[in-house]
Amino acid sequence: MESEQLFHRGYYRNSYNSITSASSDEELLDGAGVIMDFQTSEDDNLLDGDTAVGTHYTMTNGGSINSSTHLLDLLDEPIPGVGTYDDFHTIDWVREKCKDRERHRRINSKKKESAWEMTKSLYDAWSGWLVVTLTGLASGALAGLIDIAADWMTDLKEGICLSALWYNHEQCCWGSNETTFEERDKCPQWKTWAELIIGQAEGPGSYIMNYIMYIFWALSFAFLAVSLVKVFAPYACGSGIPEIKTILSGFIIRGYLGKWTLMIKTVTLVLAVASGLSLGKEGPLVHVACCCGNIFSYLFPKYSTNEAKKREVLSAASAAGVSVAFGAPIGGVLFSLEEVSYYFPLKTLWRSFFAALVAAFVLRSINPFGNSRLVLFYVEYHTPWYLFELFPFILLGVFGGLWGAFFIRANIAWCRRRKSTKFGKYPVLEVIIVAAITAVIAFPNPYTRLNTSELIKELFTDCGPLESSSLCDYRNDMNASKIVDDIPDRPAGIGVYSAIWQLCLALIFKIIMTVFTFGIKVPSGLFIPSMAIGAIAGRIVGIAVEQLAYYHHDWFIFKEWCEVGADCITPGLYAMVGAAACLGGVTRMTVSLVVIVFELTGGLEYIVPLMAAVMTSKWVGDAFGREGIYEAHIRLNGYPFLDAKEEFTHTTLAADVMRPRRNDPPLAVLTQDNMTVDDIENMINETSYNGFPVIMSKESQRLVGFALRRDLTIAIESARKKQEGIVGSSRVCFAQHTPSLPAESPRPLKLRSILDMSPFTVTDHTPMEIVVDIFRKLGLRQCLVTHNGIVLGIITKKNILEHLEQLKQHVDPLTPPWHYHKKRYPPSYGPDGKPRPRFNNVQLNPIDEEREETEEEVHLLNSTTL
């Protein structure tokens, strides 16, 4: 009973089994102007001609019941494997949710029976919270490990702590009293490679030695990272967010969130960050957290057996990932809601919140940076901002939008090149070359030599009297009576000007390198390089505005609020706004991004500037192309992702999209009870469809249900193994009652338990906007198109995606298609007034559209149907 309960009970209990009802159906159809011809055409190979047309069958409540009850008992237990999915397939959210509700009902009804059942139901109720707790703990701990190890390895490029090898530069000089005000990071314990190898700390010789060692370490880290990825877990490369988005929308990529991927991603992420490539660890941390979520969900049957429920855990896990990546728990929850999740009920919101909390707590208790913060570049400002400053903030927003648009175009073009040409065959070489170029160019410039997070920290930090970096080399007017917190605007010194030059060079370098880095076969995130670019631009603008205000404080825009000797411009704030704008331009996030950035700064008063910049950058970016970098990569890879944000504005009908098309072979259908096991196996072998509609009989093409290919294969295989008497010529029966069979015929195989008896159907005249909406909101996998209860065709998610792609390329959305102007014809007639061709009594679609999708975009779609 159980397995049958999984599918929708009793919908078709009284199936139309009598010949009388079938004939009345036909009359009904004729009345509707449909001409039925019953001749089996020669290409009717699906049904294998040998089954007699119009078999007379009756309800079998009496005679053959004995044999069938025996079989029914065998089928009481669900066949293992039925209801699971193949690799690169789309899940059926509706079916998964039904399965879960059924399971829940079962546990609830048993609850009262015994204490043990009660415990089990409690365990079941709590398992959701338990799994997100474990996920949060694990992702916090892993983030701590990654942070500490990456810091250490980054500093390894430069030198080593002789007194304790496991300390990074900062930790090495932790207790040292030898540091001076000017050279804060020098201490005798920390040895650069030049000091160790050639024994001198200064001079051109040591510079060259350090240069060589820097390149050597960068190359070896990059090589190790890419070879580990290549040998153990190819899925560990890249940022992972496009794939996680796709997985959360209901796609299966086996092994993408597995143990090896987790381990290799964690290990190589450290190497990739340490190699000095222009990449960040934030995006991959989301992937790491999702791996944790997936692995822990295997401990709980509630989540391991149900793909839809597992995705709720993954949503929570991605929130935990961002929470630890940016130290922004609330921002993480919003990120999960805005950017990655597809199905996000309130329950998931709370669990995400909790997971983010746990993860942030764990990371905080590890305290990886020694600053009691979750991120390196945490800053605190207290200076107010003025209305005029919105203008440079919006300018930064424009810059961010332009950068985002440019980056997406350039990166996608480069990735397409990698995907389609021979150049993609050498991933290891590519990584090595990119790493070598990065290292060679990065070392001479102090701002690119730094770890990117450190660079962002330096750019965010405002110049107090305590700062010693050249960015803060202002000419002081030694007016020694002022208090620390309120430094007036000062004229820039020579150090600031040289720093600006270096920053300009760093900006160009970062822009170019990031385009070529994102997408190479090591774990690589995009957040940190984008933020760095924005922060550099913002800091330059900030210093410019500051100097403008200093030299022209009598201009009317400054006169009101910026008096001589007042501190009115904070360049660090500009850097922060610029970082947010650039990140917004690339990812097109808004709310979550602003929340993440203000959680970074702990200053609520900067929300308005941030909002203005992020909104501007989104507008500017959207003017050049509506999709963010993640959607662009999803489209590039051809993942079956139905974006909920896009609107469908076309006026096509379901009949225009459904398969089969006119020139295609007829729709492969199963009949309810007159096919043999061999017939079905032949059909499975000959076609590559992932599911077959089951109809009553060939004469009456009424829909009974839908059977999935995988379920059919598994069920037949297990029946051949376990049930005796199942041979190739056994009848397969999807109906509730087996038809009466000749006495000598083999025992029939009942497969009603794998039949989905409430498949989603639409009529052929349903507008596509509604169909697309149904697919998006319910997460359907396929949908059958019927006319008067007769199956005409099928629409799968893939078909819809192809259709969208086609419309995007060929049709102006505002021009209505042909059938808007012409007289409407009944579906059995084509637009030319002639009857449509028909095969196997299934109406086919006359629209002959050229299928010219770019090959790579449907590449995956072709291999992954449904």
Query: What residues numbered 243-282 form the site for other proteins, per CB under 8 A?
Result: 243, 253-255, 260, 263-264, 267, 270-271
Looking at 284, 400, 519, 538, which residue binds other proteins (CB under 8 A)? Answer: 519
Nearer to other proteins, 638 or 739 (CB): 638
Site string for other proteins, 422-461 (x = CB under 8 A): --xx-x----------------------------------
Site string for other proteins, 400-429 (x = CB under 8 A): ---------------x--xxx---xx-x--
Q: Is 180 in the site for other proteins (CB under 8 A)?
A: yes
Q: Is 167 in the site for other proteins (CB under 8 A)?
A: yes
Q: What is the largest CA-CA distance in the chain?
A: 112
* Positive or negative: CA dihedral 235, 237, 240, 243: negative
- Tell me if 812 sits within 8 A of 821, measured CB to CB: no
Nearer to other proteins, 397 or 427 (CB): 427
Size of the site for other proteins (CB under 8 A): 81
Q: Scanning residues 549 to 568, which ones bind other proteins (CB under 8 A)?
A: none
The CA angle 733-738-739, to the nearest 5 degrees, is 105
Q: Scanning residues 382 to 401, which ones bind other proteins (CB under 8 A)?
A: none
Cα-Cα-Cα-Cα dihedral of 27, 31, 33, 39, to 10°?
Answer: 10
What is the smallest separation between the CB atom of 177 and other proteins, expressed in angstroms? 5
Q: Is 224 in the site for other proteins (CB under 8 A)?
A: yes
Residue 845 corresponds to which tokens in the numbers above? 């679609």
CB atoms within 10 A of CB 105: 11
Looking at 45, 637, 718, 723, which residue binds other proteins (CB under 8 A)? Answer: 637
Q: Is 521 in the site for other proteins (CB under 8 A)?
A: yes
- The rounded distance, in Å, linking the Cα atoms of 166 and 419 is 40
Q: Is 231 in the site for other proteins (CB under 8 A)?
A: yes
Task: Specify which residues 691 forms β-bridges with.
Answer: 708
What is the smallest separation between the CB atom of 496 and other proteins, expressed in angstroms? 17
- The rounded distance, in Å, linking the Cα atoms of 633 and 616 is 23
**Amino acid at site 845:** N
Site string for other proteins, 94-133 (x = CB under 8 A): --------------------------x--xx-----x---
Task: Mention every residue, 6+ apart, whose C-beta is less than 8 A from residue 708.
Answer: 690, 691, 754, 756
Q: Is 350 in the site for other proteins (CB under 8 A)?
A: no
Q: Is 636 in the site for other proteins (CB under 8 A)?
A: yes
Q: Is 774 in the site for other proteins (CB under 8 A)?
A: no
Q: Is 621 in the site for other proteins (CB under 8 A)?
A: no
Nearer to other proteins, 112 or 823 (CB): 112
- The rounded distance, in Å, linking the Cα atoms of 752 and 617 is 55
Would you give the end-to-end CA distance of the chain in angstroms?
Answer: 28
Q: Scanning residues 183 to 222, which ones bind other proteins (CB under 8 A)?
A: 184
**Amino acid at site 300:** F
Nearer to other proteins, 412 or 795 (CB): 412
Looking at 125, 145, 811, 847, which residue binds other proteins (CB under 8 A)? Answer: 145
Q: Is 84 in the site for other proteins (CB under 8 A)?
A: no
Q: Scanning residues 274 to 333, which ones bind other proteins (CB under 8 A)?
A: 296, 299-301, 304-305
Looking at 24, 58, 163, 365, which residue binds other proteins (CB under 8 A)? Answer: 365
Task: Mention every residue, 6+ apart, whose C-beta is less than 8 A from residue 319.
Answer: 329, 332, 333, 335, 336, 352, 353, 355, 356
Q: Scanning residues 474 to 493, which ones bind other proteins (CB under 8 A)?
A: 480, 483-484
- The rounded distance, in Å, linking the Cα atoms of 855 and 345 is 36
Task: Specify which residues 670 forms β-bridges with.
Answer: 694
Q: Which stretch binds other proteins (CB under 8 A): 16-24, 631-639, 771-779, 781-789?
A: 631-639
Helix 390-420 to helix 607-624 angle (10° resolution) is 40
Q: Which stretch binds other proteins (CB under 8 A): 15-23, 199-207, 462-470, 761-769?
A: 462-470
* Positive or negative: CA dihedral 601, 606, 609, 610: positive
Q: Is 148 in the site for other proteins (CB under 8 A)?
A: yes
Task: Specify which residues 695 forms β-bridges with.
Answer: 671, 703
**Amino acid at site 319:** A
- Tell me if 235 sits within 8 A of 255, measured CB to CB: yes
